[in-house]
Amino acid sequence: MSASAVIFYILSFFILATGLLAVTSRKIFRSAIWLLFSLTGIAGLYFWLQMEFIAAVQVVVYVGGIVVLIIFSIFLTQQSGRDLPAPVRSRAIFSVLAVCTGFVLTCVLLRGYAFGRTGRTDGGQTFAGPVASGVPAVDASVGTIGAQMLSTSEHGYVLPFEVISILLLAAMIGCIVIAMKIKPDEK
């Protein structure tokens, strides 16, 4: 059990625990804060996976943008004072049942699937290292990502990039239109 494994387990425990608290907390503000912690934990997980750029984006967009947005909307709808009602008993039970069933099903499927393992005959769980095909790992740095994103070659992502920008524009306009308060003229 190396240090990185330990870190991973601590991180994943943190993520899951705060996520659970986020969905079961009775006070809405605390729920938002637990969500914040969970998203920060996920960013930590990205750091552990040596994807620093993704981790940074996660923190900037999710934690700094979306959670703040959620907190603002909590204020705007004046919800922060009251307790949230507990869910209906039957619905809670059925949800737990459904969710546990789904989880068990997915885990069973996971165990049976060999994710790209070649030539290994032990069939065990441990997975050692990247695919042994001799291809060197690419360096996931900002420069590489940016170059590939804006390239027009075979593996370039410039088209989805442009589409995303249009989507963001549309979303922006849409939000403004939906949330706009039309004031009646008072003159």
Partner 1 sequence: MPNHAYIALIPLLPLAAFVVLGLFGRKYLRGLSGGIGTFAVLVSTGLSLWVAYRYFFVEGAVTGAYNPVIALKATWLSFSPGLSIDMSIILDPISVMMIVVVSFVSLMVHIFSLGYMKGEARYGTYYAFLGLFTFSMLGLVLSGNIFEIYIFWELVGCSSYLLIGYYFDRPSAVAAAKKAFIVTRLADLGFLVGILILSFHAETLDFGTLIQRLSGPTPQMVGITTASFLGISALSWGLFLVFVGGAGKSALFPLHIWLPDAMEGPTPVSALIHAATMVVAGVYLVARLYPVYMFPGGAVLHVVLYAGALSALLAAIIACTQTDIKRVLAYSTMSQIGYMMLALGTLHYKGEATTLGFTASMFHLFTHAFFKALLFLCAGVIIHRVHSNEMRDVGGLRKLLPLTHICFLIACLAIAGIPPFSGFFSKEDILLSAWHADKLVYGVALFTSGLTAFYMFRLYFSIFWRKPMLVGGGVHSGDAGAGPLRDAGDAHGEAPFTMKLPLVILALGALLAGFVPFSRLVTYDGTPQPDHSIGFFAVAPVALALIGIFIARYLYFKESDRPGRVAAGLGDLYKTAYHKFYIDEVYLFVTKKIIFNLIGRPAAWIDRNIVDGLMNLLATVTARISAAIKGLQSGRVQDYALYFFAGIAGLTVLFIYLYT
Partner 2 sequence: MSQVPLSHILVVSTALFFIGMYGLFTRRNMITMLMSVELILNSVNINFVAFNKYLYPDKLEGVFFTLFIIAIAAAEAAVAIAIIINLYRNFHSIDVEDAGKMKF
Which residue is listed with tokens 């949800």? 95
Dihedral of the alpha carbons of 38, 43, 44, 48, in degrees to the nearest 10:
140
SS3 (DSSP) at 174: helix
The answer to whether 40 contacts partner 2 (rule: CB under 8 A) is no
The answer to whether 92 contacts partner 2 (rule: CB under 8 A) is yes
Least distance from C-beta 186 to partner 2, angstroms? 19
What, of partner 1, partner 2, none, does residue 171 touch, CB below 5 to 8 Å by kind?
partner 2
One residue of 102, 146, 160, 174 binding partner 1 per CB under 8 A? 102
Tokens of 45: 């997980």
Tokens of 128: 């050692």
The answer to whether 109 contacts partner 1 (rule: CB under 8 A) is yes
Phi, psi of 27, rounded to the nearest 5 degrees: -105, 135
The answer to whether 94 contacts partner 1 (rule: CB under 8 A) is yes
Choices 15-23, 56-64, 75-83, 97-105; region in contact with partner 1 by CB under 8 A: 97-105
Maximum alpha-carbon separation in the chain: 83
Give residues in contact with partner 1 (CB under 8 A). 91, 94-95, 98, 101-102, 105, 109
